[in-house]
Amino acid sequence: MVKIPDDATMTSADVRRAYVKLYKAMRNYIWNVSTVEKLADLEVACYDRFIDYDAVDRALNALKSSTTRIANEDDEFAEAFSDFGTVLEKAREFEPQYAEITKVIEEEDDEDK
């Protein structure tokens, strides 16, 4: 189980490291195409430039639903899912607030003239 200090700052890199740990646990098994697609969806969500934590959460839950039987039998596998969830939850607390762009003014470049 991953231990995260209360004052720790989580970043997208931490989410990606948690994904890699989960991937390492999953590669010990042979999965059907549907489960592999769900894993790919999770990877895409984790490696997005600006992570959408809701999309990561949806992808993780979809993957969990396909792997419940193995998670019940393999403690290391279950721990990887648990750790991912913990890191994701902590990362949500530190999700940066981006300014909303309300207006864009396009300037002409001198080379375009």
* Mean per-residue pLDDT of the chain: 84
pLDDT at 25 over 90: yes
**Does 4 fall in a domain?**
no
Question: Please, are residues 12 and 91 in contact by the beta-carbon 8 Å criterion?
Answer: yes
What is the Cα–Cα distance from 71 to 65, expressed in whole angstroms? 10
The total number of structural domains in the chain stands at 1
Within 13 Å and on the Cβ side, how many CA atoms surround 83? 21
For residues 9-34, average pLDDT: 90
Tokens representing residue 5 in the block? 């200090």
Query: Which pLDDT does position 96 carry in this prediction?
Result: 56
Helix 33-46 to helix 53-73 angle, to the nearest 10 degrees?
140
Range of the domain at 38: 12-112
% of the chain with per-residue pLDDT over 70 = 79
Is residue 29 a part of any domain in this protein?
Answer: yes
> Average pLDDT in the 37-65 region?
93
Q: Is residue 5 part of a domain?
A: no
